[in-house]
Amino acid sequence: MINIHQSYRQIWGWFDDNGPAYGADVYRDCIEWLPDNSHIVEVGCWLGRSTIVMARLIKLSGKKIRFDAVDTWTGSIRDLRQKALVKRNGGSIYPLFLKNITKFGLRDYVNPILGDSTATATLYHDLSLDFVYIDADHSFEKFMSDITVWYPKLKAGGLLAGHDFDEKYHPDVVRVVEDFSFQNRMQFEVQNRSWLIRT
């Protein structure tokens, strides 16, 4: 099993590898089964906590994996703490994101893409990606748009996954995953609080 350095926890975020509520096990499993020359995308990065976990796993694996990190770096309009941080930093925390991944020596392992989570999917060909992890806007409409446009980008045998499958705190995430899976006659699974759909 690949181990990851723990000091990334100092970065504000919701992603961890300590306990059942977080998503690093999905990232670890993904890197272990992906072959060389895979292409993966993380949709929703904030300050880079989850991005650092993935990039470090890629580095430790020794595999050639292209890792794109997609975000607007302007935060959620519904989160006052995020809005305050973005405002203090002139309207974008993108420089803080770059500073964090550089601090951990991982800049060469991450390809940041500045853009809206749904619109950015148009940059990719269908059937071109091996793994997509969606952890951006959790509202029903936006999340349904994200999952709908990113799913066709996956190769056969690829994996679409995301965070916060939690009826209490994120009921829209649960509704979208269930509705999307039902409408498309596919199965999904839940690993701790991460949801997974295999193509």
Cβ(63)–Cβ(38) below 8 Å: yes
Residue 21's pLDDT band (cuts 50, 70, 90): very low
pLDDT in tens, 133-187: 999 989 999 999 999 999 999 999 999 999 889 999 899 999 999 999 999 999 9
Q: What separation in angstroms does the CA of 74 have from each of 101, 132, 142?
A: 17, 21, 16
Residue type, 103: K
DSSP-based three-state secondary structure for 173? helix
Confidence of residue 105 (pLDDT cuts 50, 70, 90): very high
pLDDT for 23 equals 56
Single out the residue of 158, 95, 84 nearest to residue 124, CA to CA. 158
Using one digit for the tens of pLDDT, what is the confidence trace for 41-55? 999 998 988 899 899
DSSP 63-110: --EEEEEEE-SS--TT-HHHHHHHHHTTT--HHHHHHHHHHTT-GGG-
**Which amino acid, residue 104?**
F
Tens of pLDDT, residue by residue over 35-90, are 999 999 999 998 988 899 899 999 999 999 999 999 999 977 677 777 887 889 88
Per 3-state DSSP, the chain is made up of helix, strand and coil in percentages (nearest 5) of 40, 20, 40
pLDDT of residue 11: 64
pLDDT 10s digits, 109-147: 999 999 999 999 999 999 999 999 999 989 999 999 999
More confident residue, 95 or 6: 95
Domains of the chain: 23-198 (3.40.50.150)
